[in-house]
Chains A and B, each alone.
Chain A
Amino acid sequence: MSWSVVARKDFADAVRSRMLWSIVGLFAVLMAVSALVPDLLGDGDPVVGYSIAAGLAETLVPVTALVAAYLAIAGERESGSIKILLGAPHSRLDVTVGKLVGRTGVVVVGVVAGFLVAGVVALAVYGNLALSEFVSVTALTAALGLAFVGIAVGISAATSTRSRAMALAVGLFFVFALLWDLVPLALTYLRTGSLPTPGETVPAWQMLLQQLNPSEAFGQLVDTALGGADAPGAEGGAAALAGQVSGPVPFYLEDWFMLVILGAWTVVPVVVGHLRFRDADL
């Protein structure tokens, strides 16, 4: 399996990056602090801590994944090590797949390490891990990481230099983290001529546009997994959407479709990026 040789070497190379471990360390510290918050508030429920952790991860994991993977291929093209990599009997597809797998490994290890720290803190402080919530939030965060690794590897495959890859990665991060929130506002304004008012319902397709952001899809899944622990008394996930959408909740707003969205973000950018890489002069 040629791609697995690439993935293993890539993992071995990436885990030697100090920058990456600083980010993972910061992530672990923030996860641990999140797990402590309920205790500081006089609440004994670790699930509330996981919810806060997931809220932080929603921004931190995209940054970590983009940093971990945006140079995966573009960096090698700029440094020329791609000639060593492709000079060995690996096809360009082996390289793309190997890079996706290798960098996913790095991010998943980082996410799991961060949550393990949070879990240990939770166990020590509350004497209770809330195992199923812990496992689901960890797995969902890893899936969010995977989606952003897909985006970053796609960017990296499509670009030939470090600076272009970085510009695209930073740009996309701001699109997802900031700009995306303005889209529903703009759409409501265009539809109704005024800004949204509290309690107003929106068409399902507008809600879908909003949820196409991997971080939003992740947020919905976390709400479901934690049963709306962040807003006590409220229902989580798709059930919470029922009141916000005009008419019945279509399939594309259900929780399972959020997994499809995360999956699509993992695969589609890589495919598009690979098609450019496949035809590129190195």
Chain B
Amino acid sequence: MAVIETEGLTKRFGDVRAVEDLDLRVEEGEVFGFLGPNGAGKSTTIDMLLDFVRPTAGTATVLGYDAQKSPTEIHQRVGILPEGYGLYDRLSGRKHVEFMVESKGTDDDPDDILELVGLDPEDADRAVGGYSKGMAQRLVLGMALVGDPDLLILDEPSSGLDPNGAREVRRIVRELADEGTTVFFSSHVLGQVEAVCDRMGIMRNGRLVAVDTIDGLRDSIGTGSSIELTVDTVPDGIETLTIDGVSSLTARDGTIRATVLDPSAKIAVIDRVRDEGATVRDVTTSESSLEDLFTAYTTDRETAGDGAEGVRA
């Protein structure tokens, strides 16, 4: 069963196309990473799933309910960490959790929730007006966990958290996923998503430009490693050479860089460069990462990183 399904989902604010013709399907039990730079339309999409924003066209279904017709049924079963939320500064953290428990009509113990997200009991009794961004983020994550939701929608959950806090968020997400909760996790930072997600979708300028598993996306870059040689002089015409297993070859300022499809081709590159009469002073190799892919999909081609060119070509 699809937990989230959108068809032709579109939102325009005046002339601005925030989300354009989005077809998205998130299956039960998966952790889905929703990636893209700020302003790509991630939050607008989430706002439409939660009926905070009404689509210009298209439909969104969450847990089988139409997002615009049955928002309260959806919210009863979904835990939400929204983007750009505010809190009730005069109320304590515990009161916030209690409000969510009462609203959902569940029997969660607020103390258990607060402990799970690592909010100290003393802090929980203070008014949230004095909370740091990280504490607020933990609190709202805790509120999202109330009622053991079938689906967790987290919009930039790591923003404002230190690396430790971000790691903890990933741990909580992983635990919930292991219990069968579907998680929809948006971020503009690939590293946050890569470690926990089964599949990811990449948004750019309101459009979904790629959806696949992590492995699938890796495959689409090829094995995607590269080798960089520092040489005394760059032989003439080196960029026009054809070497088996090498997808691109560039040279600049005493450095020759090759993107290889097959790791064994790295040696071939070194041999060939030496055959051309250059002395190799240093060798560095790198595995091209999903970061390169992300960069390729989310920036204009002209400015895309080297490691990504093979993908776009």
Contacts and interface: CB of A to CB of B under 8 A. Distances in A.
- A, B assembled together: yes
A178 interface: no
A84 interface: yes
A139 B136 CA distance: 42
Nearest to B88: A13
Interface string B91-121: 1000110011011100000000000000000
A176 B268 CA distance: 87
A81 B99 CA distance: 13
Contacts of A87: 50, 75, 80, 82, 85
Contacts of B76: 89
A263 to B, nearest CB: 29
Contacts of B52: 83, 86, 281-282
| A5, A79, A82, A281, most chain B CB atoms within 10 A | A281
A80 B99 contact: no
B99 A88 contact: yes
A89 B85 contact: no
A11 B72 CA distance: 22
A13 B86 contact: no
Given A16-B90, A88-B103, A83 B82 contact: yes
A279 B54 contact: yes
A164 interface: no
B140 interface: yes
Contacts of B51: 86
Size category of the A interface is 20 to 34
Contacts of A132: none
Interface string A152-193: 000000000000000000000000000000000000000000
A16 B90 CA distance: 6
B53 A84 contact: no
B150 to A, nearest CB: 13
B84 interface: yes
A2 B140 CA distance: 20
A80 B85 contact: yes
A81 B298 CA distance: 31
Interface in A50-94: 76, 79-84, 86-91, 94
B53 A16 contact: no
Nearest to B91: A13
A22 interface: no
Contacts of B86: 76, 79-84
Nearest to B74: A89
A272 interface: no
Nearest to A282: B52
Contacts of A279: 54
Size category of the B interface is 20 to 34
B231 interface: no
A84 B82 contact: yes
Interface string B229-259: 0000000000000000000000000000000
Contacts of A5: 99, 102-103
A12 interface: yes
| B95, B96, B102, most chain A CB atoms within 10 A | B102
A12 B91 contact: yes
A275 to B, nearest CB: 14
Given A279-B54, A282-B52, A84 B85 contact: yes
B8 interface: no
A81 B88 contact: yes
A276 interface: no
Interface string A94-130: 1000000000000000000000000000000000000
Given A12-B95, A79-B86, A81-B85, A89 B53 contact: no
Contacts of B71: 86, 91
B72 A91 contact: yes
Contacts of A8: 102
Nearest to B13: A281
A86 B71 CA distance: 9
B103 A89 contact: yes
A17 interface: yes
Contact of A89 (B13, B72, B127, B143): B72
B33 to A, nearest CB: 21
B54 A281 contact: yes
B99 A90 contact: no
Contacts of A94: 72
B30 interface: no
Given A16-B127, A84-B143, 8 more contacts: A80-B84, A81-B85, A87-B50, A88-B100, A88-B103, A90-B103, A281-B47, A281-B52
Interface of B: 13, 47, 50-54, 71-73, 75-76, 80, 82, 84-88, 90-91, 95-96, 99-100, 102-104, 127, 140, 143
Interface of A: 2, 5, 8-9, 12-13, 16-17, 76, 79-84, 86-91, 94, 279, 281-282
24 contacts: A5-B99, A5-B102, A9-B88, A9-B95, A76-B86, A80-B82, A80-B84, A80-B86, A81-B87, A83-B84, A84-B82, A84-B85, A84-B86, A86-B50, A86-B51, A86-B52, A88-B75, A88-B104, A89-B75, A90-B103, A279-B54, A281-B47, A281-B52, A282-B47
